Copies of this chain bind each other. A is one copy, B any other.
Amino acid sequence: MKNLTSEILTVINKRPVDSFKGNYGHIVTVGGTKQYGGAILMSTSAAVHAGAGLVTCATAPENLTALHAVVPEAMFVDFTDERTVNSVLAGADAIVIGPGLGTDQTSLSIIRSVFANVKPEQYLIIDGSAITLLAQEKELQDNLPDTHIIFTPHEMEWQRLSGIKIADQSEENNRQKQEKLGATVVLKKHHTEIYSPKQETTRLPIGGPYMSTGGMGDTLTGIIAAFMGQFASEDPKAALDAALYTHSAIADQLAKNAYVVLPTDIIDQLQRFMKENSK
């Protein structure tokens, strides 16, 4: 297992002078019931601040106003409006599904619909409730769509999804299950581990307990999506690793002056951090 260093941030390219927003990815974030609306707002806002060209948030209609107030740069779709969601998904470079999605029948039918519509060249980040739902619905888990899937479970979610108890989550066991899934797995924990198909496992040696607060993982999904939309064409594994490194490195910086680092604080630092570390 290889420890990541700040070297990974070289994937944050200087943008070519003659380019337009279409070059920087269209991200679609799917999640946010009425109860958990904040989760998808943070994912969406993180994607916008991390440089995505266009971001659309597919969420419960109750979250429309909060979305426009918090991040007017993002567009809205009612996540129960299957037709419009599908037309938006068709143009996506990266899709996030799960933050605050819930685990009821509506959530399940939304996942099914996204799975049925995702295309091979897209990146699909599966987080939070979506992981829990997959763990419950073996049939869904056995029929993952043919695309670039990135799971972002924490240890308990990984136990649910993989069947591997937390105490048994060794590199070898994790790797076996990851290969069976045919997907990338970001195992979030103290020193997060990243298992990508046919690549050496990487580990994040940074981050800390000041990140243990609700919404931290939701925010990560937006950063990952934005990085895949902008930087994946050359080396997708490096783009993913850089997204994770960015998320924790900002938290480490903020923790010098903050007892707990809030997700929205990290979002506020993305533009500066990426500039300072762009090559």
Residues of A within 8 A of B (CB): 12, 15-21, 23-24, 34-39, 41-42, 45, 48-55, 62-77, 84, 154-155, 189-190, 208-210, 212-216, 255-265, 270-275, 278
Contact = CB atoms under 8 A, between A and B. Distances in A.
Contacts of A65: 62-63, 65-66, 69
A209 B257 CA distance: 28
A65 to B, nearest CB: 5
A20 B262 contact: no
Indicate the member of A50, A75, A212, A214 with the most B CB atoms within 10 Å. A214
Contacts of A50: 260
A95 B215 CA distance: 20
18 contacts: A18-B209, A20-B155, A21-B216, A36-B75, A38-B72, A38-B74, A38-B75, A38-B76, A49-B260, A53-B214, A63-B65, A66-B69, A68-B70, A69-B69, A72-B263, A257-B271, A257-B275, A260-B274
Contacts of A55: 214
Contacts of A24: 212-213, 260
A54 to B, nearest CB: 4
A222 B27 CA distance: 26
Given A35-B77, A37-B64, A48-B213, 9 more contacts: A15-B212, A18-B209, A20-B189, A35-B76, A38-B76, A65-B65, A258-B271, A259-B271, A260-B271
Given A37-B64, A62-B65, A72 B70 contact: yes
A37 B76 contact: yes
A202 to B, nearest CB: 19
A265 B16 CA distance: 22
A52 B54 CA distance: 28
Nearest to A258: B271
- Of the candidates A68, A76, A272, A278, the one having the most CB atoms from chain B within 10 angstroms of its own CB is A68
Nearest to A54: B214
Contacts of A154: 20
Nearest to A275: B259
A63 B50 CA distance: 25
A12 B258 CA distance: 12
Max chain B C-beta neighbours (<10 A), residue from A50, A259, A272 = A259
A267 to B, nearest CB: 10
B259 A278 contact: yes
A262 B66 contact: no
Contact of A72 (B53, B72, B264): B264
Nearest to A256: B275
A74 B214 contact: yes
